[in-house]
């Protein structure tokens, strides 16, 4: 990856406080060489957990492993500070592995919505994500709006949840770092059970850095099990009685300090450190006022611009616990390669069989020249191609509106309808992708 030390992100973001960033063009140096469709495919890194879940004897055991999968889908985000490329309308991405296959498509450009559908012999996993990015003065907040659903067709069961927010800290001063925070509810639609997981903000003493804690409740809303761990490392589960016994002896590991609770989540200008204020003072007052917008779920920021470190004093290991998931270690040279996991490093690979004519759908992300050039180290070429593709997409939209050009109708593989489990509007796979024939179809989005 390129060093970003010579590039000032503040010069791009200073006019964006309180705004959504999806409409802001970012320099390509801040990208990583993957499309958001490929980044979304990283949900599947620990797909084996869904196979294990489908093999469990009871709905309770299945809920445990589905919950572990929901947390594992976020693990690759740690230290991933590059922005994925925005997919073009109609862009697709496919991936086949021994235990699953997945198809993703950019189904909407304004607003940007990405849909996916994965399946295997034992499960189906699908959903749509409408990411929103906002700049709050010292941090960038990513809200992955949308719901995802897991189905076990042979068991006639479905589970659904929404992902939690993500925050990149220290975008003006200090070292960038990332955290996930908020509440996640994994709902078992057929059995009335629910796993409620709290992704904790790190707090001012970092005691809760990366921590996830939550409960499984039965249909009578009685707490039966305790889930805990770190979204970067592992998830364990124990029965609720063992948890209560542990808390009696280790209460200090669970109670939040009054100081932590009193800190405002995304500090208003009055609490902003002096070196940050010196930057903000150059803003117009209209922009400055928008900095004080606060949202209740925003994470607290540490007082200094350093990357926080976990305090082992507060680590938890409860007797009678079972490990549901552990993250795999990253490659030794990951810091030189955008902090990619082994799984992420494989996603843009053009495998030999894909190089055959029409073997790969012509809208596949692997064929995007801007992503490929960034991967190959050609920063100027990537920037030029990114600009060309964005202009081409705008021109195509103008021509289609004037009726000058007959377009292939996008989306091709998904349709908007009600999700039968959540009863909400969703993008559902129409089928046919894996059986398609592109021989007589001219698709030229790149």
Nearest to 110 by CA among 13, 18, 17, 22: 22
Q: Contact at 8 Å (CB) between 178 and 74?
A: no
97 class by beta-carbon count within 10 Å (0-12 exposed, 13-18 middle, 19+ buried): middle
Cα–Cα nearest to 311, from 174, 203, 212: 203
pLDDT attached to residue 211: 93
Instruction: Answer whether residue 286 shows pLDDT above 50.
Output: no
pLDDT band at 441; cut points 50, 70, 90: confident
Q: Domain for residue 95, yes or no?
A: yes
3-state class (DSSP) for residue 212: strand
Q: Tell me the average pLDDT across 193-210.
A: 88
User: Which of the residue ranges 124-138, 286-300, 361-375 would you say has the lowest mean pLDDT?
Assistant: 286-300
pLDDT tens-digit readout, 209-239: 899 999 999 999 999 999 999 999 999 999 9
Lowest model confidence (mean pLDDT) among 15-19, 28-32, 37-41, 155-159: 15-19
Predicted confidence (pLDDT) at residue 280 exceeds the cutoff of 50:
no
The number of distinct structural domains making up the chain is 1
d(CA 311, CA 289): 36
User: Dihedral sign, CA of 36, 325, 223, 247?
Assistant: negative
pLDDT at 23: 62
The pLDDT of residue 15 is 66
pLDDT at 315: 83
The CA-to-CA distance between both ends of the chain, in Å, stands at 24
Read off the DSSP letter of residue 364.
B
Judge whether 308 lies within some domain: yes
* Segments forming the whole domain that contains residue 394: 8-251+303-427
Question: Domain containing 379 — which CATH number?
Answer: 2.40.160.120
In eight-state DSSP terms, residue 17 is: B
Q: What CA–CA distance (Å, rounded) separates 226 from 224?
A: 7
pLDDT, the chain, mean: 84
Question: DSSP 3-state helix, strand, coil percentages of the chain (rounded to 5)?
Answer: 30, 30, 40
Percent of the chain, pLDDT > 90?
A: 60
Q: Mean pLDDT throughout 188-217?
A: 91
Question: In the beta sheet, which residues pair with residue 140?
Answer: 135, 168
Region of poorest pLDDT, from 20-34, 125-139, 200-214, 408-422: 20-34
pLDDT for 96 equals 96
Residue 273 token pair: 């450190």
Residue 62 has pLDDT above 60, yes or no: yes
């Amino acid at each position: 990856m390129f060093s970003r030390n010579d590039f000032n992100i503040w010069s791009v973001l200073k006019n964006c406080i309180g705004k959504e960033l999806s409409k802001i063009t970012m320099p390509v140096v801040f990208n990583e060489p993957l499309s958001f469709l490929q980044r979304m495919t990283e949900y599947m890194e620990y797909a084996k957990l869904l196979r294990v879940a489908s093999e469990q004897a009871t709905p309770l055991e299945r809920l445990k492993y589905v919950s572990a999968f929901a947390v594992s889908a976020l693990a690759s985000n740690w230290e991933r500070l590059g922005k994925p490329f925005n997919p073009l309308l109609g862009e697709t991405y496919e991936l086949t592995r021994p235990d699953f296959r997945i198809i993703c498509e950019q189904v909407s450009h304004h607003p940007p919505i990405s849909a996916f559908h994965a399946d295997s012999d034992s499960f189906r996993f699908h959903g749509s994500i409408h990411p929103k990015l906002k700049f709050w003065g010292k941090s960038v907040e990513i809200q992955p709006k949308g719901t995802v659903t897991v189905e076990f067709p042979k068991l006639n069961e479905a589970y659904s949840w929404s992902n939690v927010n993500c925050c990149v800290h220290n975008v003006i001063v200090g070292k960038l770092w990332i955290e996930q925070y908020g509440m996640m509810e994994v709902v078992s639609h057929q059995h009335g059970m629910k796993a409620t997981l709290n992704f904790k903000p790190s707090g001012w003493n970092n005691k809760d850095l990366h921590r996830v804690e939550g409960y499984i409740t039965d249909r009578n809303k009685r707490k039966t099990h305790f889930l805990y761990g770190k979204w970067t490392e592992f998830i364990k589960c124990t029965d609720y009685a063992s948890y209560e016994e542990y808390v009696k002896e280790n209460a200090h590991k669970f109670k939040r300090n009054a100081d932590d609770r009193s800190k405002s989540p995304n500090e208003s200008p009055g609490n902003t450190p002096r070196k940050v204020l010196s930057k903000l003072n150059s803003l117009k007052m209209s922009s400055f006022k928008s900095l004080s917008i606060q949202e209740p779920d925003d994470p607290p920021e540490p007082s200094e611009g350093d990357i926080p470190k976990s305090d082992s004093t507060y680590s938890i290991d409860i007797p009678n616990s079972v490990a549901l998931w552990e993250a795999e270690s990253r490659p030794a040279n990951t810091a030189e390669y955008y902090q990619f996991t082994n799984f992420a490093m494989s996603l843009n690979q053009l495998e030999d069989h894909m190089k055959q004519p029409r073997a790969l759908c012509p809208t596949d992300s692997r064929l995007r020249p801007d992503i490929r050039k960034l991967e190959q180290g050609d920063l100027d070429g990537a920037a030029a191609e990114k600009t060309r593709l964005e202009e081409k997409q705008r021109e195509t939209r103008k021509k289609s509106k004037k009726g000058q050009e007959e377009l292939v109708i996008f989306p091709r593989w998904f349709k908007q309808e009600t999700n039968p489990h959540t009863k909400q509007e969703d993008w559902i796979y129409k089928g046919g992708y894996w059986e398609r024939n592109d021989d007589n179809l001219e698709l030229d989005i790149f």
